[in-house]
Amino acid sequence: MENSKIEWTHHTFNSWIGCAHNSPGCLNCYAEAMMDKRYHRVKWGKDGTRSRTSESYWKQPHKWNRKAAERGVTETVFCASLADVFEDRDDLINWRLDLFDEVIEKTPNLIWLLLTKRVDVAAKFLQFRQVPSQVWLGQSICTQRESDVVIPKLAKLQKKVGGIFLSCEPLLEPLDLSALPANWCITGGESGPSARPCDVTWIRSIRDQCKSAEIPVFIKQLGSKPVGVPKLRSAKGGDAEEWPQDLRVREFPVFG
């Protein structure tokens, strides 16, 4: 994809960098490993620091928007890969408002895929706003417990935004998504040196549940420790050519 290494989006945008763990899925957070432990750009955690990205970087979505408009298309932006847009901290309030008012509102040819692990904060923020229809709200779900708590809350927000999506990654156990209110579902196993195993039957089950509910599903990767397939060459299990044919499902919703 154009400005992202992530297979399911055209662009990735981080309004700021830094976050705090908020889910079992955060245990091996790659953003923390990179931006705290490796580059020392911020201190991770509740009492850590957050770093706003540069003014020139904030201009990029406007450039993507102009190009998309010229071509008469819409393109997707994943926001954020190195933070959580809805982290609840006083120092992020104005940055979040800037993101909505100065960037999202002014880029109608971009579909904003806001992925959070904090649906309660998202609900509070979106409650009194006129949310542009190109905003899609996504929640990460790794365990059944998270699913049971989060899905009813997401369902309440579905009419407020352009679409709802789930990111079931890293998938840590089988999930029953029977009450699924989503317009799109992304799933995959965990990657990295400390990755936890992901049984491909869990991924197949999500694929089948989405199919029954007529929800497009995107299988991103089988993870670094996939169970139920022969050893893969790709470290993240992200090369679909190596997978059993039935797992090669990479569907997109109709955005708009």
Helix, strand, coil proportions of the chain in percent (round to 5)?
Answer: 35, 20, 45
Concatenate the DSSP letters of all residues of 135-168 into one string: EEEEEE--SHHHHHHHHHHHHHHTTTSSEEEEEE
- Which is closer to ligand SF4, CB of 83 or CB of 164? 83
Q: What are phi and psi of 28, to 5 degrees?
A: -115, 45
Q: Which residues does residue 138 pair with via DSSP β-bridges, in sequence order?
A: 115, 165
Give the shortest CB-111-to-ligand SF4 separation in angstroms. 20
Looking at the Cβ atoms of 75 and 84, the one nearer to ligand SF4 is: 84
85 counts as binding ligand SF4 under rule CB under 6 A: no
Least Å distance, CB 235 to ligand SF4, is 19
Asked whether 39 and 49 are in contact (CB, 8 A), the reply is: no
For 153, the token pair is: 């809350």
Q: Is residue 19 close enough to count as binding ligand SF4 by CB under 6 A?
A: yes
Choose, by CB under 6 A, the member of 117, 196, 207, 236 that binds ligand SF4. Answer: 117
Q: State in angstroms the smallest separation of the CB of 209 from ligand SF4.
A: 24
The answer to whether residue 199 forms part of the interface with ligand SF4 (CB under 6 A) is no
In eight-state DSSP terms, residue 241 is G
- Span interacting with ligand SF4, options 27-35, 69-77, 152-160, 173-181, rule CB under 6 A: 27-35
Q: Which stretch binds ligand SF4 (CB under 6 A): 24-32, 126-134, 201-209, 215-223?
A: 24-32
Q: Does 21 bind ligand SF4 (CB under 6 A)?
A: yes
Residue from 9, 10, 14, 31 in contact with ligand SF4 (CB under 6 A): 31
Residue pair 120/83 in contact (Cβ under 8 Å)? The answer is no
Pairing status of strand 163-168 against strand 135-140:
parallel
d(CA 96, CA 125): 9
Q: Does 26 help bind ligand SF4 (rule: CB under 6 A)? A: yes
Q: Which helix (H) or strand (E) holds 17?
A: strand 16-17
Match 């800037």 to its residue by tokens.
98
- Least Cβ distance, residue 83 to ligand SF4 (angstroms): 6
Q: Report the residue number, 85 or 164, with the smaller CB distance to ligand SF4.
A: 85
Which residue, among 227, 166, 231, has the nearest Cα to 202 in the 3D structure? 227
Closest by Cα among 249, 112, 245 to 185: 249
| Under rule CB under 6 A, residue 220 binds ligand SF4 | no
Q: Is 32 a residue that touches ligand SF4 (CB under 6 A)?
A: yes
> Of these, 29, 154, 161, 219, which contacts ligand SF4 (CB under 6 A)?
29
180 binds ligand SF4 (CB under 6 A): no
Per CB under 6 A, residues contacting ligand SF4 are 19, 21-22, 25-26, 29, 31-32, 83-84, 117
